[in-house]
Chains A and B, each alone.
Chain A
Amino acid sequence: MIAVIDYKAGNLTSVVKALTYLGAQTQVTQDAEVVREASKIVLPGVGHFQATALLQELGITEGVREAVARGAEFLGVCVGLQWLFAGSTEAPETAGLGHFAGICERFPAVYEGAELKSPHVGWNSLDTVREGSRLLKGVEPGGFVYYTHSWRAPVVHDTASVTHYGGAFTGVVERGNVMGVQFHPEKSAEVGLRVLKNFVEL
């Protein structure tokens, strides 16, 4: 059973649909207890980093900390990945989980002298794939995934895959049982389904 956290940030339908398609049982929940007890947790999210403040209010942040400490596998998607970091300039007053160091920042308006469009929307490549990544098993460097976001996480020690747009950012972060993807695996065709399947099969 995978607990899919509903914190009223956008549309969960696609994530749940993809997990179900891959044979997983899911439970969409706002209940901190359910999260605490879960063996697998997915935190989806499209929208504003501010929306993650609800996780703290509902006690889900603590639930996640305890579940993860116990060894539960955790996957954050999009804003769900960003939440794993210390915070985001999108909502400076809202703290992230702080599992990974660093602050998420907006794409620069200008990069190397050229205007950079934002949001970053579309199919971009996973330019590196860390050897031994459980989440990226079977994914080749250069595989394309679908992104849509205006803030991005920095490249850190636990970055498992880097994508380039206005410089390098974290496409995938993974340390032990805590993982995040900035792209939308549920919308990333074969590569995305592969990543989700890897998570489902952990």
Chain B
Amino acid sequence: MLTKRIIACLDVRGGRVVKGVQFVDIVDAGDPAELAHRHAKAGADEIVLLDITATHEGRGTLIDTVKRTAATLFVPFTVGGGVRSAEDAAAVFDAGADKVSINSAAIARPELIGEIGASFGAQAVIVAIDARRGVHGVEDAEVYVSGGRKATGLRVVDWAREAEARGAGEILLTSMDTDGMRNGFDCELTAAVSSAVQIPVIASGGAGSAAHFAEVFGRGKADAALAASIFHFGVTDSRELKAELLRAGVSVRLPC
């Protein structure tokens, strides 16, 4: 049976894992390679490394960090941040990533989705969407770029559909409203996007408890869910989280 995925996300800045609340208030949470392995061992189904400063500071992705992290990591490994061209993506794949996550660059030039897919396969392209609800809620939720600083005027569901049509393999949907708050995912928004596309949707933003994951897999129709802050400081790990999810009737992979 296909299981729901728990994805551990490492937000990286200057080679260190950091975590903010609603995209600000950064605190240090450790070494990326070390944390990635710890998460994989604890049963995370996938690791995402996002270089959160790359876009607005114009830096490239941290190839060395990616190499070091990927060296002995045998679960799917996604890298995002600073991937603006098919060449940037190629460098990240060369360093050992299995997928790239593109966000601002895909908005700026949607052809990039297909370009990376043509060389590395659609499964290797995740389109990340940072979303914030509008005055009418989910209905007019809007896409933001540049680390959540710039509104695009695009409706979230429309952009998700376009990303799929252009060959995205998965959608990583982050709710800026719930991110870092640990009060739960935006299930309505996730369900709206998941129902609008055929490709898997990874929910992000707001994980605080096992119940939140169960909700987003159920009501939110998410195929996977991503969390950072709840793992880093030992609040819980994937093993505990998955044990609780199993008890709640969610099918998940238990590590050996």
Contacts and interface: CB of A to CB of B under 8 A. Distances in A.
Q: Is the interface of A mostly helix, strand, loop or mixed?
A: mixed
B199 A117 contact: yes
Q: Is the interface of B mostly helix, strand, loop or mixed?
A: loop
Contacts of A10: 119-121, 124
Given A10-B121, A46-B123, A47-B120, A189 B74 contact: yes
B5 A123 contact: yes
A18 B76 CA distance: 12
A119 B122 CA distance: 10
Interface stretch (B19-27, B57-65, B90-98, B106-114): B90-98
Interface in B46-73: 70-72
A187 B99 CA distance: 12
A125 B1 contact: yes
Contacts, number: 94
A118 B198 contact: yes
Interface residues of A, number: 35
A46 B121 CA distance: 6
A121 B169 CA distance: 9
Interface string A101-137: 0000000000000000111111111000000000000
Contacts of A21: 72, 74
Nearest to A14: B98
Contacts of B120: 10-11, 46-47
B129 interface: no
A56 to B, nearest CB: 20
